Amino acid sequence: MTINSTTSLYCVLGDPITHSLSPVMHNSAFLHTGYNGAYVAFNVKDIGAAVTGIRALNIKGISITIPHKLTVMEHLDEIDETAKKIGAVNTILNKDGKLHGFNTDCLGATNALLEKTEIKDKDVLLVGAGGAARAIGFGILAEGGRLTIVNILKDEGEQLAKDLGVKYYPLSFFKNLNCNIMINATPLGMTPDTDKMAVEPEHITPDMVVMDIVYNPLKTRLLKEADKKGCVTVDGVSMFVHQGVAQFEMWTGEKAPVEIMRKTVLNSL
C-alpha cells in the first residue's frame, strides 16, 4: 500500500475500538482492488467533535460502532430512509462535503442468517436494544420473522419494542420464552471479556439457531455453549463481512472482493 497526497482516508469511530478488524478488512480490500485508500481506527468519546473533524479533514467514508450508532445521527446532513426507519447509522458517506448516513448492519445480519436458516415465520429472540439490535430487528421483520426483544435495561428494551411493534421482556424472562432463532446483539463476550454471555447455558436448547454478532473472538462463549448443545450457529464474521462489503461498494463505487475480505478477517482471528 502506497499512501500519498491523493490517498482517500476512511475510518471507524467507536469506544472501545482496539478490537476492531475493520481496518485490516478494508485495507486488504483497497490493496486487492488497487484503490488508493487507507482506513484507520479512532477511539472516540465525543462523537460531535469527531464529526467536526471528519468534515475538516475531508475523510471520505466512516464506519460507526458502539456506542455512537444512534447519537451520530443528529450530526449528519442527510440520512437514508432505511436508516431513519431503523433509527441507527453505522455508515457515513462524505459526498461533496455533505455527510450522508446509512445502515448496512441490517443487510449484513439477514444475509448472514439466511446462509444457515430461513427467517420467514420463525420465532426470533433478539437480546439487546442498541443500534445493532435496531438494525437486526428491522431486518428480521422485513424477512417475515416473528420478533421478540429481551434486554436488561427496561426503558431501552421497551422503546425498541415499541418502535418495531413487537413485544419486550426482561432478560431474566428469557428462560420462559421459546424461539427458533436467538441472536445476541450485545457486546457481551467481546474481547477482552470473553467469559461473558447474555444468557445462561442451560437456557440454550438444541433446536435453536444461535447467532452472535460479536466477531472477536470468532467463537464466543455463547457459540461454544451452543455448539455443545448441537445448535446451528452463526458467528459474527459473516454479518461483519456482509456489512463491510456494502460499505466498500458504497464508498468506492467498485465491486468488493468478498472472499478476500472474509479470509483476511478469519486469518486475523
The catalytic residue positions are 69
Cis peptide before 206 (omega within 30 of 0): no
Give 250's contacts (C-beta < 8 A, 6+ positions apart).
Answer: 61, 91, 93, 102, 104
Q: For residue 96, how many other CB atoms are within 10 A of its CB?
A: 4
Nearest Cα residue to 168 out of 151, 184, 180, 187: 151
d(CA 36, CA 10): 11
What type of residue sits at position 168?
Answer: Y
Report residue 261 as a C-alpha cell: 475480505
Report residue 217 as a C-alpha cell: 473472538
Rg (CA), the chain: 18
d(CA 152, CA 146): 21
Q: From edge to edge, which strands make up the β-sheet containing 181-184?
A: 167-170, 146-151, 123-127, 181-184, 209-212, 232-234
Report residue 90 as a C-alpha cell: 453505522
d(CA 121, CA 123): 7
3-state helix, strand, coil in the chain (%, to 5): 40, 20, 35
Contact by Cβ (8 Å): 88, 105: yes
